[in-house]
A and B are shown apart, each in its own frame.
Chain A
Amino acid sequence: MTDISSSNALENPMEPGAQPRLLRILTILTVLGFAATLILGLFVAGTDIQQGEVQRIFYIHMPSFFGAFTAFGATVVGGILYLARRSETWDQIALAGVEVGLAFALINLLTGAVWARPIWNTWWTWDPRLTSAAIMCLTYAAYLMLRAGIEDPNRRRAFMSVYGIFAFVSVLITLFIIRIVPETIHPVIVGASPQNAQGGFEATSGVVLALVPSLLLWLTLMPITLIWHRVRLEIRLEALSLQKIRALNE
C-alpha cells in the first residue's frame, strides 16, 4: 500500500505523492468516529450513581489500552513479516506500531491516574496491574532506545523485529495479570472483578452503549490510521536523510 508513495517520496521528499484516497477516508472516519464516541461517553451515557462524572473517563481509559494492544500487535506482525520477506515497509509498520502504541499506553496510564485520584484517593499505587502497565511502557521505550543504538540499517531492522516480538509479552502480562495475581485492586468491568477490586461498576446497557463504539474505534480505525500516517512520515524521513547524504557528497 505504501510502495507507490515510497517511490514518489524518493524522487522528492518535500513533495511526496498525494495521500491515497483510502487514507483520507480513514482519517475523516477516525476524526468523526472520535467525536461521536466522545459525545456518546460525555453526554449520552448516564452518570454513574456512585462515582459521578469521573466514571466517564473509562470510555477512553479502557479503549486506549486496546488501541495500544492493536498497535503493538502490528509491531509483532510487522516484525514477523519483515523477517520472512525483508521488505522495509514491514519494519516501518513495526516502528509506527511502537510509537502509536506507546502514545496510547501513556493515555491509558494518565486517564487511569486521573480516575484513581478521586476513587482510590491516590494518583498512583503499586498495584500489580498498574505496575505491569508501566513496565509495558518502559519495554517499548527500551525498544526505541535499542533501535537508536544500532547503526547498520539492516541489522537494526532484523534486531528490532526480534525485540518487537518479545516485547509483546509485557502487553499480554498486563492483559492477564488481574487473572493470575489476585491481590489487585483494579476493577474488571467485563466478567467478575477480583475480590479486592475497588471502584468497579456494573456494565449496564448505558455503559455498553457508550463503550462498544469507542472500543471498536480505538481497536481498529484509530491505530490503523495513525500507523499509516506514521509510516508515510518515516518514508519521507528516510528519503530526506538519503538526500542529505547525497547533498553532502556533492
Chain B
Amino acid sequence: MKTSFAAAVLAIAGKDLRAELRSREVLMAMALFALLSVLVFSFALELDRAARGEAISGVLWVTLIFASILGFNRSMANEQDAGNFDALRLAPISRSAIFVGKLVGNCCFTLCVGLALLPLMTVLYGLNLLDGWVLLTTLLGVGGFSTIGTLLATMTAQTRAREALLPIALLPVALPFLLTAVRATKGVLGGEPQSEWQVWLQLLAGIGLIYFVLCMLLFEFVAEE
C-alpha cells in the first residue's frame, strides 16, 4: 500500500515540528544566532541613521540565510545520525515526498526566525519592516533558499566534513535569492514606487519556482542508497 503524497509530506513535516516543539534546540540556536548577528552587524558596520536605511535589507537577508544554514544542517544531521533517513528511504513513499516534507519543516523554522526578526529590527533600527510586501518578500525568499538548502543539506549530511561544507556549497547557488530579495526589500523600505521593485519580487518568485522543480527532480539522486 502506498501512502499518498500529501499524507507523507504532512507526516514528515509534522514529525520535524513535533520534535522541535519538544526539544526546541534548533529553533533556539537559530533565533539566538539571528539576534547576535543583528547586534554584531550594527557594531561592525557602525551604522548611523542614514547608513542604517541602506544596509538594513542586507543585514536582514544575510542574517536569515546564515541562521537557516544552522537549521538545515541540524535537521538533516538528525535524520542521518538516528538512522531515520534510511527508514524514510525504505518507506513506500516517493522520494519527492521526503523532499517536500523536509522542505516544509525547514521552511517553517526559518520563517519563524524571519517573522521574529522583522519586529525586532523595526525596534532596533527604527525603520518599519512590518509591511505586507516585506512579509511577502520574506516568505518567497525563505521558501526559495530553503528548497536548495534542503537539497544540499541532504548531500552534505552524507559527507565527511558535513557542517563545514553546507555554507560553502549553499551560498553561491542561493545567490539569486539573496540578490533579488535584498533588492525587493530595499525598494519597499526605501519608499520607491511599486513599479520599480515589483520586478524583483516577480524574479524572486520565478527563480523560486525553477529551483523547486529542479530540486524535486534531482532529490531522487541525492537520496540514493
* Residue ranges of A at the interface with B (Cβ–Cβ < 8 Å): 83, 132, 135-136, 138-139, 142, 145-146, 149-151, 154-155, 158-159, 161-163, 165-167, 169-170, 173, 180
Contact = CB atoms under 8 A, between A and B. Distances in A.
Contacts of A149: 156, 159-161, 165
B172 A158 contact: no
Given A132-B175, A149-B159, A163-B152, 5 more contacts: A146-B165, A158-B221, A162-B221, A165-B218, A170-B173
A139 B173 contact: yes
B-side interface mostly: helix
Contact of B173 (A132, A154, A161, A167): A167
A165 B152 CA distance: 12
B64 interface: no
A166 B211 CA distance: 9
B32 interface: no
Contacts of A159: 155, 158, 221-222
Interface string B140-164: 0000000010011001101111000
A173 B159 CA distance: 28
A162 B159 contact: no
Contact of B156 (A138, A139, A146, A180): A146
A67 B155 CA distance: 29
A135 B148 CA distance: 17
Contact of A167 (B156, B172, B176): B172
B168 interface: yes
B89 to A, nearest CB: 13
Contacts of A132: 175
Given A155-B224, A159-B222, A173 B169 contact: no
Given A146-B159, A166-B214, A173 B221 contact: no
B172 A162 contact: no
Nearest to A170: B172
Interface string B177-208: 00100000000000000000000000100000
Given A146-B156, A150-B158, A150-B159, A169 B222 contact: no
Given A155-B224, A169-B176, A173-B175, A145 B165 contact: yes
Contacts of B214: 165-166
Contacts of B158: 150, 155, 159
A135 B175 CA distance: 9
Contacts of A180: 203
Q: Which of B161, B179, B221 gathers most chain A CB within 10 Å?
A: B221
20 contacts: A83-B218, A135-B172, A135-B175, A138-B172, A142-B169, A142-B172, A145-B165, A146-B165, A146-B168, A146-B169, A154-B224, A159-B158, A161-B221, A162-B218, A163-B152, A165-B214, A167-B173, A169-B175, A173-B176, A173-B179
